[in-house]
Amino acid sequence: MAHRQHPIGTGFTAASTAEEVVAGLDLSGTNVVITGGHSGIGLEATRALSGAGASVTVASRDPARAARALEGIERVEASHLDLLDPASIDAFAARWLDSGRPLHVLINNAAIPSPGEPVRDSRGYEAQFATSHLGHFQLTLGLRPALRAARGARVVNVSSGAHRLSGIRWEDPHFTTGYDPGLAYAQSKVAGVLFAVELDRRWAGDGVRGYALHPGVVVGTALNNGADEEALRAMGLIDRSGAPVIDPERGKKTPSQGAATVVFAATSPLLAEIGGVYLKDSDIAPLDDEHRPVTAEGPPSDAMSRSLDPDSARRLWELSERLIEV
């Protein structure tokens, strides 16, 4: 994996926006499913993809709320999906397959705010891992026939630089003992990277490629709305007046800048022959295996070798199949 994990010189920067990334692309006839595509960077990705001609289905736990947020955006629809409910995931996949539409791009974007106390689904699974990884894993497997039918498709996992802070807790992925919300979040994000690596290995022969990415830190997204101002200020994300700090070179971005790498992964011709990689700033991220602490200057977000390890990726896939009872 390591030989592919290096920047390719795309011409984009940390400050590039989603609209700039898709400029000049004609996505007419492209079908996209994006989870959580009605808020934050998901909404900006939806807007940019639709603006370039794609037809976008936004999967949401509350389709009515999603539809209100999506008003005025062309070629977009909202459909019910609860990533913590296996039956809801199966129903969404069945509806899509019944429609007969090929699926060119699946963007696994939705996540939940990090809870202070452990939250579990009906199976007893830790909610962040169940939502960000297992729910998307089940959804992706359910949509595989439509992805194959596209004859050239991409699965995009929105991860985070937080993947650097944890591996998979193989013996206790659901934190039945010693719950730590930060580590639970980090595990859910490293899972997204490993999932993309193994998906690409297994499905590239069918024309389905996998990507994971760090969008940057965007103040005001659903994942940091729960943080108080003191915490956001300590992280260097807001200034003394409470206004967001925008400094894309240090990873602090506007929603459109955060969505840029999402739509780059989904659409860029530069990735046509490359998959199973982790992206940032609308390019392939460099490898950096040095331990770097999180500071207010900017969280480390480059790729780590352990997050791209093919043996760990295969092991996670097999664990995930058991957990969703495939």
- Rounded (5°) CA angle 163-17-219: 55
- CA 255 to chain CA mean position, Å: 14
The amino acid present at 99, given as its one-letter code, is S
Residue 256: name the closest of 294, 301, 296, 221 by CA: 221
- Work out the number of other CB atoms within 10 angstroms of the CB of residue 71: 7
- Long-range contacts of 67-73, Cβ-Cβ distance < 8 Å, separation of 24 or more: 69/38, 69/39, 69/43, 70/38, 70/43, 70/46, 73/46, 73/47
The amino acid present at 58, given as its one-letter code, is V
Question: Is 185 tagged catalytic?
Answer: yes
Candidate list 125, 179, 185, 278, residue with the active-site label: 185
Which residue is listed with tokens 């595509």?
A: 37
- Rounded (5°) CA angle 23-75-113: 85
Residues 6+ apart with CB under 8 A from 205: none
CA 259/CA 48 separation, integer angstroms: 9
Residue 262: name the closest of 134, 149, 105, 145 by CA: 105
Residues 6+ apart with CB under 8 A from 318: none
List residues with catalytic annotation: 185
